[in-house]
Amino acid sequence: MTEFVLAVTLGLLFGLGTFLVLRRDVVRVVWGVAIISQAANVYLVTVGVGTTGGAGAPILGHGHAGEAAVADPLVQALVLTAIVIGFGTTAFALVLTFRLYEEHGTIDLDGIAGSEGDGAAGTGTAGDGAADAGGSR
Amino acid sequence: MTEQVVVAPLLSALVAAVLALLLRSYPRLQRGVSVLGGLAYGAGVLFLAARVAADADRRLVYQVSDWTAPFGISLIADPLSVLMLGLTAVVSLAALVYSLYFLDREDARLSYHPLYHFMILGVTGSFLTGDVFNLFVWFEVMLMSSYVLVVFYSGAEQTRAALLYSLLNLVGSAVMLLAIGGLYATTGTLNMADMARRLAEPAAYGIDPAPVLGISAVLLSVFALKAGIVPFQFWVPAAYEAAPEPVTAVLAGVVKKVGIYAIVRLYFMVFAAASVPVSLPGIGGDSFLSFFGPVLFVTAAASILLGGVGALGQDRMAGLLAYSSIGQIGFVVLPLAVAATAPEFRVLGVTAALVYAINHGLAKALLFLVGGAVRAGTGTDRFADLGGLAGREPVLAGSFFVGGLALVGIPPLTGFFGKFLVFDIAGRAGSTAGLAVALVGAVFTIAYVTRAWNRGFWGEAGPSVAASTRRPALVAVVAALAGLIVLLGVGFDPLYAAAENAAEAALDAEGYVSAVDPTTAAEATADAASGTNGGGHS
């Protein structure tokens, strides 16, 4: 039963994440990526639960049903690492979204893609790059 | 048995990164420490290479915190790691010195040097680790720094490119985490050596190889994304054009090769031991590699063609070089694909891929640095505004010529041997399709290199070229790198020997396992010896 509930939850989380990633709004895309990486973390935890589902804390002298009834602590350590990394990357992606809004005046992905075409046709981007390189030294 | 020397390159990069971060109020000191860090890294790699070469087993293992192999994190330096670290040391030092004179000092003061060394740290960790999850962590270290370095100029174009680059890689990281969780669930281990041992005899450990095959295919997509192989190439041109040229040189020269390294290490060693009892249409043999061979072949062929066509259509030097690196990575994967399907040519195929990877790493880094010097001098890298650089900047033009010829594959440069080995393996394995793809790719390479040369360096000098300023320091770095490519090509034997050693080490799963985990390996050998009176190894 636990397995079934976890599987459905995971499926819903991945579905929601994928749905959000495919939006045009950059903030929603960032949320989608965050949800997908959290879903991956949940998946990792379920790996350690085992088939019995009733897993106790892996503390010496705590469990009394043998090692089969103990959750695998390794995946929990992995998830801790992954959460820290995910925290950093999500924060960075949000800051980048803000910078994107400052530069383009929109967080609509289509609007941003359009401005690239303008930049390539006009001289805006080239002048920008030239100023950067010329200003160095 | 623990060899502390394995962590020398890691430590030098980490110390340089932390010191550069602490010294950001003292720019001169920071720059000095940064270059010293680059030199120390090179010295560390050289020392490690000497120790690995002197070792009887040619493998040095460091167990982090002295936790023994299958449980702790192992760092392993073998000829394959050392070869890739050597490439990293050369390219990163050249690009670092170059960036001192290229970037605005005020711009670079805050974050450039720490991030640069953190990126190198991530690359180094990926090359040295013997643990799949640890590989994920090092990938993240490398990627986090590269996100910030791509957005370094933080203009409109850069923020857009960096957002797409980071979002794509964030999804890639989630997929990688999923695949690693799946591998742990199916094989019960994260240690590469332990995984190789378990997959070699799945029945003894209760492993069903079929899900492992699926999970390893998912993992391949992540490495293909990092290496920028078609169909995961779309982030490459935008990110490479947005990043400052010295960063792009490292991204194209070294960071891309991490994906290739991971494919060689995991698919040609760890997963190669396993066999699947399922038959798929059009695939002969029952090994994992005979499944991945055709997959790699299709992606390699698509990369070569798309990279070649894309490069021809570019009107900026950075764009041309970015598309070219998609095509060239195809040339690295092609011999791997042939080697995967033809077991008897496996050493030759991996050798060819490694030689080509080293050649591309050096030549493409050189070309991006030339592109940066051109842009710094003339203020543009559009072919329409260039022309006549050969007369005005003969050394710079000469270096571009060397890099271009190395891509095309003209003897005596390293590129010739790379191309030659790719054709050789395709011919020997009787792969007509492989030969055809390589031939078309070679023609494309000649076409776009010629185009860049004709429009950028020959002809009448345009107004921006006539008004260009000389940047002697940049030209000196570029010329040094060009000289190195010529030297390596003329004296090719040591590079070939190193690549062959690396290929043999990469394919020798048994030696890898016994080096990482001697006690369990000895027990397994003892078991085998008592049962069958054989199968032992030193």
Interface residue A94 vs chain B (CB under 8 A): no
Among B112, B118, B170, most A C-beta atoms within 10 A, so best to mutate, is: B170
Tokens of B246: 């010295």
Instruction: Say yes or no: ipTM exceeds 0.90.
Output: no
- How many angstroms separate the CA atoms of B173 and B136, rounded? 8
Question: Could you tell me which of B423, B377, B424, B367 has the C-alpha nearest to residue B400?
Answer: B367
How many beta-carbon contacts under 8 Å exist across A and B? Answer: 128
- How many angstroms separate the CA atoms of B81 and B271, rounded? 18
- How many angstroms separate the CA atoms of A35 and A31, rounded? 6
3-class DSSP assignment, residue A103: helix
Q: What is the DSSP string of B207-262?
A: --HHHHHHHHHHHHHHHHHHHT-TTS-TTHHHHHHHS-HHHHHHIIIIIHHHHHHH
Select the more confidently predicted residue: B518 or B369. Answer: B369
3-class DSSP assignment, residue B29: helix
Each residue of A83-132: pLDDT tens digit? 999 999 999 999 999 999 998 888 888 877 654 444 333 333 333 433 34
3-class DSSP assignment, residue B341: helix
| CA angle, B477 then B480 then B485, to 5° | 130
pLDDT of residue B392: 84
pLDDT of residue B222: 94
Chain A environment of B368 (Cβ under 8 Å): none
Instruction: Report whether B117 contacts B20 (CB < 8 A).
Output: yes
Tokens of B315: 């009107």
- Residue for token digits 């915190």? B65
Residue B485's pLDDT band (cuts 50, 70, 90): very high
Each residue of A117-126: pLDDT tens digit? 443 333 333 3
Select the more confidently predicted residue: B386 or B133. Answer: B133
Question: Could you tell me which of A37, A51, A36, A48 has the C-alpha nearest to residue A2?
Answer: A51
The answer to whether A115 contacts B156, with C-beta atoms less than 8 Å apart, is yes
Instruction: Report whether A112 contacts B160 (CB < 8 A).
Output: yes
Tokens of B368: 């991006």
Tokens of A43: 């998946």
Each residue of A21-59: pLDDT tens digit? 999 899 999 999 999 999 999 999 888 776 555 566 666
- How many angstroms separate the CA atoms of B150 and B162, rounded? 6
The answer to whether A44 contacts B376, with C-beta atoms less than 8 Å apart, is no
Cis peptide before B411 (omega within 30 of 0): no
H or E stretch including B283? none
Instruction: Report whether B83 contacts B502 (CB < 8 A).
Output: yes
Chain B environment of A40 (Cβ under 8 Å): 174-175, 177-178, 181
pLDDT of residue A134: 36
Tokens of B112: 């450039």
Nearest to B133 among A43, A47, A78 (CB): A78
Q: What is the DSSP string of B61-78?
A: EEEGGG--TTTS-EEEE-
Each residue of B90-119: pLDDT tens digit? 999 999 999 999 988 777 778 899 999 999
* Residue B281 backbone class (left: φ over 0; alpha: ψ -120 to 50; beta: rest): beta
- Over residues B384-406, the mean pLDDT reads 88
Q: Buried (b) or exposed (e) across A107-126, using 16+ Cβ within 10 A?
A: bebeebeebbeebeeeeebb
pLDDT of residue B201: 85
